[in-house]
């Protein structure tokens, strides 16, 4: 890892609240945008682009809300376009809306590609240059910081480098604080982008920035390459959210700049907030936080192969490119049929059990694990079931908190309404409990009946709630008779845990996972017996 040293400053500019909201399936409310702004400020980003106040009422309301909120580190920025053709800057509604937003910095975009000038704007090349120059000049007289986004710059430069550079000069001569080169279509590959950035830096003394999209899968690489060439301003979004394939991902760019390239972008304490910030924005976007995202995904530092785990236990650098704690992540060791003794030993230590790889229990547990996974069990997302399996291997048997005498699930459809009821009979310490419960499906009804029967003996189970339920068909060849795996996530308000069940019958597989879930709760609470309750 490169030790962070003081280098030429790199301004981090986030556009999640504007570019990010153009992504399919993302629609932030005003309150969401306010909360994300606070999170980005806590992360230590230099600029937060809040939206386009001239385009919609939501962004106008957001900027009004933000007038009463003081950011400690970040500068709020409003976004808009150059003046319209035929308009004077002071009469242009877009520029007036930018000023009305009251932000200490504004960003406007203009056309760099002749195709857009003549086909989209339908103005002369000279008029386009005037629109850029006059707009920046007008705003610069009224706002402290003005950034110019050169839209489609790389396409424009490849088409006519002389004219593309003229558009930059028009903004620079008017006083723009930074000229941001935009790969708007996301089609420029890294080597070509680097060459163009280098040529632009040789042609102008103005500060240069980069705004990359990810349509070719190289948004982050292009941004880092541009920094290596000498740009001092990087735009992107949290988690790479954005139109089409998204924008360059700041969550990957920031640690690359700070931990690998030696730029002092944010403090080490703020760097550790990357993981929680990434998850927070995903949550507000109502999108799943990808396990496989670099740096912050759950799988980013997860190890499954036994040889890998054995090496990581001796020296983390053998299979990890950096310390996960630096970005707010943790190392995870997965248990599967690929596991070796090292996986079992490492996992046991996570649960406070100190095993050596020569312990007989390790061999038993490894044999049980491989047999069960061959049958279709999967413990990567069911660590509670694994801990119970480990308990059985250590002590020869798993403590049974109750004995099932029988259960029945009935589905009754009357006209358009479906009724589901589960009846269960079980025994706890010689006492029989027979009860029933309804639900919005067979698993829900069975879960409610099981907990209803047990809560008399184990009151702490009243806190347990089923959070998530997943079913996966393991062998598609048998159609509806195929074996299924059920993964259940449960919680008690203080923690969450996962359990697993496998069977040809989805009800039986669900039963296995539900039983493990409740037994794990009791095991976790200290293996409470009937007498203790």
Q: Where residue 442 sits, what CATH number does that domain have? A: 3.30.160.270
Judged by DSSP in three states, 136 sits in helix
In a domain, 277, yes or no: yes
In a domain, 2, yes or no: no
- Using the Cα atoms of residue 235, residue 239, residue 243 and residue 246 in order, give the sign of their dihedral: positive
DSSP classification of residue 440: S
Where is pLDDT greater, at 432 or 335? 432
Query: Quick one: residue 239, left, alpha or beta (phi over 0 = left, psi -120 to 50 = alpha)?
Result: left
Q: Which range (44-58, 366-380, 494-508) has the least confidence?
A: 366-380
Provide the pLDDT for residue 334.
Answer: 65
Position 5 pLDDT exceeds 50: no
DSSP classification of residue 119: I
The answer to whether 304 and 339 are in contact (CB under 8 A) is: yes
In a domain, 253, yes or no: yes
pLDDT in tens, 76-129: 999 999 999 999 999 999 999 999 999 999 999 999 999 999 999 999 999 999
pLDDT-based confidence at residue 1 (cuts at 50, 70, 90): very low
Judged by DSSP in three states, 322 sits in coil
Where is pLDDT greater, at 143 or 342? 143
- Rounded Cα distance, 303 and 310, in Å: 10
Provide the pLDDT for residue 298.
Answer: 84
Residues 123 and 253 in one domain: yes
Average pLDDT score over residue span 280-292: 88
Position 64 pLDDT exceeds 70: yes
Where is pLDDT greater, at 402 or 372? 402
Residues 275 and 416 in one domain: no
In a domain, 160, yes or no: yes
Structure tokens at 242: 């954005």
Provide the pLDDT for residue 476.
Answer: 53
pLDDT in tens, 381-414: 678 888 887 777 776 666 788 999 999 999 887 7
In a domain, 431, yes or no: yes
Position 475 pLDDT exceeds 60: yes
Pairing of strands 145-151, 178-183: parallel
Position 478 pLDDT exceeds 60: no
In a domain, 206, yes or no: yes
Structure tokens at 360: 């007989």
In CATH, what number is assigned to the domain containing residue 20?
3.20.20.70
Where is pLDDT greater, at 286 or 258? 258
Neighbours of 233 (CB within 10 A): 24
pLDDT-based confidence at residue 528 (cuts at 50, 70, 90): very low
Q: Which of 295, 293, 229, 211 is nearest to 13 (CA)?
A: 211
Query: Which of 284, 308, 343 is the C-terminal boundary of a domain?
Result: 284
Structure tokens at 410: 């009935």
Judged by DSSP in three states, 87 sits in coil
Average pLDDT score over residue span 315-344: 77
Instruction: State how far the alpha carbon of 50 is from the alpha carbons of 71, 96, 151, 460, in Å.
Output: 13, 16, 18, 46
> How much is the mean pLDDT over the chain?
88
pLDDT-based confidence at residue 165 (cuts at 50, 70, 90): very high
Provide the pLDDT for residue 2.
Answer: 35
Position 217 pLDDT exceeds 60: yes
81: which strand partners?
A: 109
Position 166 pLDDT exceeds 60: yes
pLDDT-based confidence at residue 417 (cuts at 50, 70, 90): confident
Residue 13 φ/ψ, nearest 5 degrees:
-120, 115
DSSP classification of residue 470: E
Query: Which of 254, 284, 314 is the C-terminal boundary of a domain?
Result: 284
Provide the pLDDT for residue 440.
Answer: 84
pLDDT-based confidence at residue 529 (cuts at 50, 70, 90): very low
Average pLDDT score over residue span 293-318: 82
Position 30 pLDDT exceeds 50: yes
What domain range is 156 assigned to? 11-284
Position 198 pLDDT exceeds 90: yes
Provide the pLDDT for residue 358.
Answer: 64
Query: Which of 229, 259, 284 is the C-terminal boundary of a domain?
Result: 284
DSSP string covering 44-55:
T-SEEEEE-TTT
Number of domains making up the chain: 2
Half-sphere exposure (CA, 13 Å, Cβ side) for 272?
6
Express as a percent the part of the chain with pLDDT over 70.
87
Residues 41 and 188 in one domain: yes
Provide the pLDDT for residue 340.
Answer: 57
**Cβ neighbours of residue 183 closer than 8 Å, sequence gap 6 or more:** 153, 154, 193, 210, 211, 212, 213, 222
In a domain, 97, yes or no: yes
Provide the pLDDT for residue 138.
Answer: 98
The answer to whether 295 and 251 are in contact (CB under 8 A) is: yes
In a domain, 289, yes or no: no
Neighbours of 116 (CB within 10 A): 18
């Amino acid at each position: 890892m490169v030790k962070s040293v003081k280098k030429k400053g790199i301004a981090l500019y986030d556009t999640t609240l504007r570019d990010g909201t153009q992504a399919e399936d993302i629609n932030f409310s005003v309150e969401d945008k306010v909360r994300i702004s606070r999170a980005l400020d806590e992360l230590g980003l230099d600029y937060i682009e809040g939206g386009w106040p001239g385009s919609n009422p939501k962004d106008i309301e957001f900027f009004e809300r933000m007038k009463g909120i003081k950011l400690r580190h970040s500068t709020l920025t409003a976004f808009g376009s150059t003046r319209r053709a035929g308009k004077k800057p002071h009469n242009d509604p877009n520029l007036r809306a930018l000023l009305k937003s009251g932000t200490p910095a504004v960003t406007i975009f203009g056309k760099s590609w002749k195709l857009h000038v003549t086909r989209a704007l339908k103005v002369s090349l000279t008029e386009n240059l005037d629109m850029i120059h006059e707009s920046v000049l007008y705003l610069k007289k009224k706002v402290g910081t003005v950034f110019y986004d050169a839209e489609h710059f790389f396409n424009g430069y490849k088409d006519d480098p002389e004219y593309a550079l003229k558009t930059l000069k028009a903004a620079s001569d008017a006083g723009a604080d930074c000229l941001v080169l935009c790969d708007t279509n996301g089609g420029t590959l890294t080597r070509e982008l680097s060459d163009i950035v280098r040529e632009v830096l040789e042609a102008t003394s103005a500060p240069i920035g980069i705004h990359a999209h990810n349509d070719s899968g190289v948004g982050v690489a292009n941004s880092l390459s541009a920094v290596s060439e000498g740009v001092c301003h990087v735009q992107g979004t949290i988690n790479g959210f954005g139109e089409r394939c998204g924008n360059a991902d700041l969550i990957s760019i920031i640690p690359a700049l700070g931990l690998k390239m030696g730029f002092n972008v944010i403090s080490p304490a703020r760097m550790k907030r990357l993981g929680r910030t990434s998850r927070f924005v995903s949550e507000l976007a109502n999108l799943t936080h990808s396990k496989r995202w670099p740096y912050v995904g759950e799988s980013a530092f997860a190890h499954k192969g036994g040889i890998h785990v054995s090496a990581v236990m001796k020296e983390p650098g053998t299979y990890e490119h950096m310390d996960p704690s630096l970005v707010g992540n943790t190392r995870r060791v997965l248990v599967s049929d690929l596991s070796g003794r090292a996986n079992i030993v490492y996992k046991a230590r996570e649960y406070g059990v100190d095993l050596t790889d020569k312990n007989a229990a390790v061999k038993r547990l490894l044999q049980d694990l491989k047999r069960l996974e061959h049958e279709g069990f999967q413990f990567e997302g069911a660590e509670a079931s694994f801990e119970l399996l480990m308990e059985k291997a250590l002590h020869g048997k798993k403590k049974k908190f109750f004995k099932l005498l029988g259960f029945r699930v009935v589905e009754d459809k009357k006209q358009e309404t479906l009724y589901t009821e589960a009846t269960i009979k079980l025994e706890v310490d010689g006492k029989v409990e027979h009860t029933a419960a309804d639900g919005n499906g067979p698993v829900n009804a069975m879960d409610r009946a099981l907990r209803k029967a047990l809560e008399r003996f184990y009151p702490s189970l009243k806190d347990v709630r089923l959070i998530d339920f997943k079913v996966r068909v393991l062998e598609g060849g048998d159609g509806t008779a195929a074996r299924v795996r059920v993964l259940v996530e449960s919680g008690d308000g203080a923690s969450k845990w996962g359990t697993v069940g496998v069977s040809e019958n989805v009800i039986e597989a669900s039963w296995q996972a539900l039983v493990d879930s409740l037994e794990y709760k009791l095991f976790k609470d200290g293996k409470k017996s009937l007498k203790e309750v």
